[in-house]
Structure 1
Amino acid sequence: MTLALDHIQIAIPKAGEAQCRAFWGDLIGLREITKPAALQTRGGLWFALMGSELHLGVEDPFSPAQKAHPGFRATDITALAARFETAGHNMVWDTAIEGRKRFFTTDPFGNRLEFLQED
């Protein structure tokens, strides 16, 4: 048996969809995809990734993930970092893994995120 990632879900607070669209859609450039009709009443939204999906699901009460995090592979980490810098987002670059350029940041709700590119 082999496994592949179908989707990853990140928790967001109630009524956080507009901030998600601004962050994941406008800033990062992901394309929003329509949630199945049966799930639309739950709130949240979905975005397409390369070969998988990012699900942003409402959690109430909400608590951001400060250690656990997804790692997103970028095709141009320098350009992505420039977008974050221009938007005023804090980034922490990390060189602990040889052969990878990577930085950590948070989404608008404090969830830890990693973005990386192999050298």
Structure 2
Amino acid sequence: MTLALDHIQIAIPKGGEDLCRAFWGDLIGLREIAKPKPLQARGGLWFALAGSELHLGVEHPFAPAQKAHPGFRTSNIAALAARFETAGHALTWDVAMEGRKRFFATDPFGNRLEFLQDNDPVSSF
């Protein structure tokens, strides 16, 4: 048996779709994908990742995830960090993991996010 990540879901508050588009689409550069028709009435939206999907689902009442978090691997962490800094979006670098460059940030609703890149350029996707 083999397992692979199909998607991750991050909770957002009702009405947060426009902020998600600005953050995940405009700032980070993900491509929005259509939700299946039977799920559209629930709100939220989806984005394509390399080999999987990011689902942003409405949760009520909403509470941001401040410890649990997804880790997004990138092929160019310096460029991604520059986008955050240019947009005035706070990030915190962390050097606790040898062999990886990484930073933590939050989405517009306070959900914790991790972005990382292996130091070995051969292992980048």
Q: For residue 80 of structure 1, what is the amino acid of its counterpart?
A: L
What is the rounded CA distance, in whole Å, between the counterparts of 1:88 and 1:108 in structure 2?
12
RMSD between aligned residues: 0.3
Local SS of the residue matching 2:89: coil
Q: Does 1:90 align with 2:90?
A: yes
Corresponding residue for 1:42?
42
SS at match of 1:114: strand
Query: Deviation per CA, 1:49-108, whole angstroms, max 9, x where unpaired?
Result: 000000000001000000000000011000000000011111110011100000000000
Q: What SS does structure 2 have at the residue aligned with 1:103? A: strand
1:23 paired to 2:16: no
Taking the aligned partners of 2:31 and 2:91, their CA distance within structure 1 comes to 23
Q: Any idea what SS the aligned residue of 1:32 has?
A: strand
Name the SS for the 1:42 alignment partner.
Answer: coil
5+ residue gaps in structure 1?
Answer: none
Normalised by the size of structure 2, how large is the TM-score? 0.95
Alpha-carbon separation, structure 2, partners of 1:18 and 1:89: 17
* Separation in 2, partners of 1:29, 1:89: 15
Partner of 2:80: 80
**Number of equivalent positions:** 119
State the identity as a percent.
82
Counterpart of 1:4?
4
Letter in 1 for 2:44: G
Name the TM-score, length of structure 1 as normaliser.
0.99
Give, in angstroms, the shift of residue 2 of structure 1: 1.2
Structure 2: unaligned runs, 5 residues or longer: 120-125
Asked if residue 58 in structure 1 is aligned to residue 83 in structure 2, the reply is: no
Amino acid at match of 2:114: E
Greater than 3 Å deviation, 4+ residue runs: none
Paired residue type of 2:10: I
